[in-house]
Amino acid sequence: MKINAITTAMPRNWGSSKILLMIKLITFMLFITLMQASAAGYGQRINLSGKNLPLKDVLQSIKSQSGYLFFYNADDLKARNLSISVRNATLEETLKECFKTLPFTYKIVQNTVVLTKKEESLIDRLSTYFSTIDVKGRITDEMGRPLVGATISIVIGESENDKKTGDYSLSLKGRNAAAISDKNGDFFLKDVDEKAALIISFLGYKVHYTKVAKDLGSIKMLPDAGNLQEVAVTMNTGYQSISRERSAGAIAKPDMDILKNRSGSMNVIQRLDGLIPGLVINNSTSPTGNSINGKRSSSVIIRGLSTVSDFTNRDPLFVVNGVPVTDVSTLNPNDVEDITVLKDATSASIWGSRAANGVIVITTKKGTSNGELKVNYDGFINFQGKPDLEYLNTMNSNQFIQSAREIFDPVLNPWATVINPRTGNGLAPVSPHELILYRQHQGLITSAQADEQLNILAGQSNLSQIKELWYRNSALMNHTLSLSGGGTKYSFYGSGAYSRNQNNSPGSKNDDYSLNLRQDFKFNDRIKMYLIIDLRNNLSSSKNTLSPDIRFLPYAMFRNTDGSNADLSWLYRIDELRTNYENKSLISLKYNPLDEINTGSTRNNLFRGRITSGITANLFNGLRYEGIFGISRSLNKTVSFLEQNNYNVRSELTSFTVAATTPDGKPTYYLPASGGRNTLTNSVSQDWTLRNQLVYDHSWKEKIHQITFLLGQEVQKQTLNQTRTTVRGYNSQLLSYALIDYATLSLKGLSNPVMPSGLGNSILTNDLYNETETDARFTSYYANGGYTYAGKYTINGGARVDKSNLFGKDKSAQNKPVWSAGLAWQMGKENFMKDLSWLNALVIRSSYGITGNTPNPGTAASKDILSSVNNPFYPGGVGLNLSTPANRTLTWETTKNLNLGLDFSLLNYRLKGTIDWYKKKTENLIGYMDLNPFTGFPSIIGNAGDMKNTGIDLNLSSVNLVRGDLKWNTLLTLSFNQNKITSLNPASPIVLGSDKINKPYLTGYSAFSVFAYQYAGLDSSGDPQIRLNDGTVTKALNAAKPEDVRYMGSFQPRWSGGLSNTIGYKAFSLTINTVFNLGHVMRRDVNSLYAGRALFSDFNFNGNINAEFVNRWKNPGDEGKTHIPGYIPSGSASLAARDVSYYTMADINVLDAAYLKLRDLTLAYSLPKRLTDKLKADGISFRAQLSNVMLWKANHYGIDPEFHNALGGSVAGGIRTAPFAQHSISLGAHISF
């Protein structure tokens, strides 16, 4: 219980101990009993009027006017509202009026009013029981048709103001629904006070008031022409917030409840997946998204690609609280209040030359001005498990050993050649199975012994060791605590969060700490200001771990049967060579992967601070000044340290060691023989934005005319500086390092080393110091306006000019304005539409305009042309390098946007939707342009092409069922996009079919086009054949011309979207979110080994190959039962006789990449109010979530398109990556006070 007194001298909370509280209360009551006196004749006259006021605010007003203190139990005042009207009244008169309908008694003692809750007597309780009735009725519209889902609330009494105005809408505030009308419009209420009344509300109808009766019959609701919108949607462009109905733009907002409950990622953008039509979150390892060390770098595309090169940005522009930012992954989703996606020119063109890819505007939370302190906690833990290594389609140990036997050829690859490093082949490792076969061939072991040893290897599997030793269960955890509140002059929102991202790598850590504080100041009615401070510190570390998977040799164990760590020195070189190098250098070259884990580490410390401040000054009627300054600074320090006993350090030292020239001499070390290698990387980025604008917002003649106009100027600067230093012989205790003769070792290199790093000399990379810097500056002028007539007809328009150091110096490149214009017609408000009772709203929109996309730093601006180079050949060791030729006319890519849209609401707002058709034409695509070879450059970065996008966006939401406590809502987002490159200057001419296959961008086709050979099967030699356009079947090299290859589709999906269903029953809710991508293709992962010495081919823990190798062509006649080419031992012979890409890049290996995935399924439960009241909480809810479950995929090879590099390589086709965070389970809770 909380005892409160409205006073400046007495604390509001008197401790938490119940005993101490009772003592204080008893003492206080004894005091006021002894001092009791009448106060009826004292105090000032009181004036008080208001409707549905919180009782606490009423007492505060009485205290302010009378000077009397109030003593009460704060819990008794919760959810107590009243309407009151007194004028020139005494304190006694005011209190009587105040408590005439509330269950309180009061006593006035000196200058204190003591409130106590009125206890209901037994007679009162019996009277109440026997004075209740059961109430039933039916809710209909003005035509007598049943209204489904009308809300019925119970009230006691009717205020005088309600009687006068007939407006009962305010009486609904803070009240829960007692009943919901069913499909027939019927409702039933049990045990209702016979003195009570009902307030009935339904969207689009006037609130209805009626006294209770046992049978109310049919209650006819009257339409409210002024209340036809369910929610007043506000569009935030980053420059202004205006009503949705006053904009002709194509905008979209996600369901924030779904977004906040998603627990698979702390990246707010990834949580948008499937919630916005036209927005594609590409989580796959395709050309626009990569998987790196278990982390997917998702790309975000709005309405298709608008650029085709790496010289520009493909992602949309991200704006946070009105300021452009380069990275939103650091935002805490719990701090986000609203997200608006701007998709067309009218909504996005105000951002000028960076808005062609769309704009995502994020607004963070702020405090409320109701004076109450709100405390919220949200936390979750997501169990993501280990990666699914079995997903990778490779051979098991038995298949691998059998295949190794079949391809072994000691005549073509004699042992002397294999072990000779000067031949190049000696650098390739000799794996244990191959060593056994060579020993058998040399007669060192018998055939039986070889079979026995090979059978042992065939029976071993390292899968369990890989899972146990190299991977752990990953998990994501977050805890966020926020506080908000304020008064009429000041409000605040603050939060603190802690996240831990435990990835699959043992020994690694990733902890994230963030603080966010927003303060809003209202100095007077004219001037307001806000200040936002957002701080984040990320600390991560990792050991020198590896990530082997089942593409490693399947039989190679990492731990011996006796529990010791296995020696895998053969991974780098054979024992004979290794022993020779060790004897000459006196350096051990043994390699034990598990021992290597603790010989190195990487630590990263990222600190980012973001400050945004804004001021608004109302100058005169409708005109105001707005200013914003935002600055973001990021400091990222990474330290990578390899100890002296690390294999890479030992190997590098051996390469820069000269053997002793005498038997008793010692080798000479040209690199430090003690100490480790330390690499320090520092990155400092700073972005700032300054904006000044005048806004005129005015309406007249009862809002018949509404106008909004803004005029502004903006400057921005973005800088990034990175330095990297590597020292050797580093002592972490003394913080010292050794000096090295880089001039000699980096230029001439070391001749006759013990272990050459190349084919003769060892040359050291000059990595002592490296520094890079990028700088982007913008200055802009803009204007934007809108006019609405009669709430039905709207016109929007805007223009902006951007100047930047990223453009060429020519005036034609700098002075290019963007502009837009749009029209909107609230057709549903026309008189001729009002007879359509099933239609609640209908809006027709159209817009046209120009947006842009700027070049990236480093393309052709003046600062990018020259770069410094450290080279001993240059006088003084320093020179300048011409990085890229200047292009004075280089300008931003121009995108012309046409959008036609329709917004509608039907069936009493049970079905709402938005349909948009758009056409985007991008000109001046940035890419390579041919130059005259005599300039010294074959090409230059310039504006070299055009492309277009056409598509449809659909957003539908429906209320499917409202029956008592059961509710069911559906949300569908669907988008279609088709793009085509209309012109593009190719970087190289297209002469052969292979040229066409290897180019993702070609004139006349969609971006990321997929071309394939027409496969004609194998010939009798097991070589792949193709069919040419004229029907000829051939296996001849370079036989296919551009017209002979087939267009198969695009890597980018044409159809994408999401389907969300939410079912609620009482305190439970179940939300099912699915996402889908359709209409695109991918290359299947196929065998990549068709010739060469060994199955094991490199040092990067690969070596196992695709399982389809087992089913390759082996003997004449097999061409009738397999499409997989045969194996040829000689690589040169294979290259001369055939082209295996005829198979790997064949049409039969291009698959439909469509899929449907359960992104998340969430079950939530909210504790009932009676329990939360006992716990002194406003609300407590719990949730459990299942994420990322594949429901359907079009291909029959078990490929998950989200974990597949659809593009692959020119030989291997597509490439699978091990899925992670699939079928993950999370548990979460939300508590508010």
pLDDT tens-digit readout, 337-387: 999 999 998 888 889 888 889 999 999 999 887 667 899 999 999 999 999
Whether 343 and 327 have beta carbons less than 8 Å apart is answered as no
| pLDDT greater than 60 at residue 1068 | yes
Rounded (10°) angle between helices 55-66 and 91-98:
180
- Classified as helix, coil or strand, 913 is strand
The band of 82, judged by pLDDT with boundaries at 50, 70 and 90, is confident
The Cα angle at residue 392 between residues 290 and 1130, in degrees rounded to 5: 100
Mean pLDDT of 453-479: 95
1146-1171 per-position pLDDT tens digit: 999 999 999 999 999 999 999 988 88
- Classified as helix, coil or strand, 1110 is helix
Neighbour count for residue 657 (Cβ, 10 Å): 24
| pLDDT greater than 60 at residue 8 | no
Distances (CA, A) of 1082 to 243, 1048, 1148, 1155: 43, 9, 11, 12
| pLDDT greater than 90 at residue 13 | no
Closest CA to 1141 of 991, 990, 992: 992
Mean pLDDT of 779-791: 92
DSSP line for 1048-1079: EEESS-SEEEEEEEEEEETTEEEEEEEEEEES
The band of 1215, judged by pLDDT with boundaries at 50, 70 and 90, is confident
DSSP line for 588-622: -----HHHHGGGEEEEEEEEEEEEEEEEEEEEETT
> Regarding beta strands 317-320 and 359-364, do their DSSP bridges make them parallel or antiparallel, or are they unpaired?
parallel
Count the alpha carbons within 13 Å of 1112 in the hemisphere toward its beta carbon: 27
| pLDDT greater than 70 at residue 1058 | yes
Closest CA to 522 of 631, 367, 373: 367
| Token pair recorded at residue 199 | 């307030």
Q: Identify the pLDDT of residue 238.
A: 87
Per DSSP, which regions of 907-1045 are E strands?
911-930, 939-963, 966-984, 1009-1012, 1015-1018, 1024-1027, 1033-1034
| Token pair recorded at residue 809 | 């110096």
1219-1228 per-position pLDDT tens digit: 888 999 999 9
- Classified as helix, coil or strand, 743 is helix
Tally helices (H) and strands (E) across the chain.
22, 59
Q: Identify the pLDDT of residue 530.
A: 96
Q: How many residues does the chain have?
A: 1233
The alpha helices in 751-838, defined as continuous H runs, are 811-814
Rounded (10°) angle between helices 432-441 and 397-407:
40
The answer to whether the predicted template modeling score (pTM) of the entire model surpasses 0.85 is no
Whether 187 and 181 have beta carbons less than 8 Å apart is answered as yes
The Cα angle at residue 492 between residues 77 and 49, in degrees rounded to 5: 40
Mean pLDDT of 59-75: 80
Integer Cα distance of 431 and 411 in angstroms: 18
Q: Identify the pLDDT of residue 993.
A: 92
The band of 26, judged by pLDDT with boundaries at 50, 70 and 90, is very low
| pLDDT greater than 80 at residue 15 | no
Q: Identify the pLDDT of residue 1102.
A: 64
| pLDDT greater than 90 at residue 870 | no
At residue 791, φ and ψ (nearest 5 deg) are 70, 10
| Helix, strand and coil in the chain, % to nearest 5 | 20, 45, 35
| pLDDT greater than 90 at residue 1000 | no
| Token pair recorded at residue 731 | 């002592």
Closest CA to 726 of 711, 712, 716, 737: 737
| pLDDT greater than 80 at residue 224 | no
- Classified as helix, coil or strand, 464 is helix
Q: 3-state SS string over 1131-1191?
A: HHHHHHHCCCHHHHCEHHHEEECCEEEEEEEEEEEECCHHHHHHCCCCEEEEEEEEEEEEE
Q: Which residues contact 508 (CB under 8 A, 6 or more apart)?
A: 502, 540, 541, 542, 543, 545
Whether 1007 and 920 have beta carbons less than 8 Å apart is answered as no
Q: Pick 74 or 300 by higher pLDDT.
A: 300
- What domains can you pick out in the chain, each with its CATH number? 3-119 (3.55.50.30), 123-220 (2.60.40.10), 251-370 (2.170.130.10), 389-469+546-591 (no CATH), 1009-1050+1087-1105+1112-1149 (no CATH)
Q: Give the rounded percent of residues in the chain with a pLDDT score beyond 90.
A: 51
Distances (CA, A) of 795 to 30, 287, 909: 71, 40, 26
Whether 671 and 653 have beta carbons less than 8 Å apart is answered as yes
Mean pLDDT of 909-915: 93
If you ran DSSP here, which 8-state letter would residue 235 be given?
Answer: E
| Token pair recorded at residue 422 | 């000067």
The band of 18, judged by pLDDT with boundaries at 50, 70 and 90, is very low
Q: Environment class of residue 472 by beta-carbon count within 10 Å: exposed (0-12), middle (13-18) or buried (19+)? A: middle
Integer Cα distance of 462 and 455 in angstroms: 15
Lowest mean pLDDT among 275-279, 303-307, 687-691: 303-307
| pLDDT greater than 90 at residue 510 | yes
If you ran DSSP here, which 8-state letter would residue 1094 be given?
Answer: -
Averaged confidence pLDDT in the chain = 85
| pLDDT greater than 60 at residue 175 | no
| pLDDT greater than 90 at residue 1089 | no
Max mean pLDDT range (482-486, 635-639, 1105-1109) = 635-639
Integer Cα distance of 1133 and 1113 in angstroms: 17
Integer Cα distance of 1050 and 1007 in angstroms: 7
| pLDDT greater than 80 at residue 893 | yes
Integer Cα distance of 1186 and 1184 in angstroms: 7
318-328 per-position pLDDT tens digit: 999 999 998 88
| Token pair recorded at residue 1001 | 């961008």
Closest CA to 551 of 51, 953, 954, 1105: 1105
Whether 184 and 139 have beta carbons less than 8 Å apart is answered as no
Q: Which residues contact 1073 (CB under 8 A, 6 or more apart)?
A: 258, 274, 1058, 1059, 1060, 1158, 1159, 1160, 1161, 1162
Integer Cα distance of 41 and 54 in angstroms: 27
| Token pair recorded at residue 845 | 């929109």
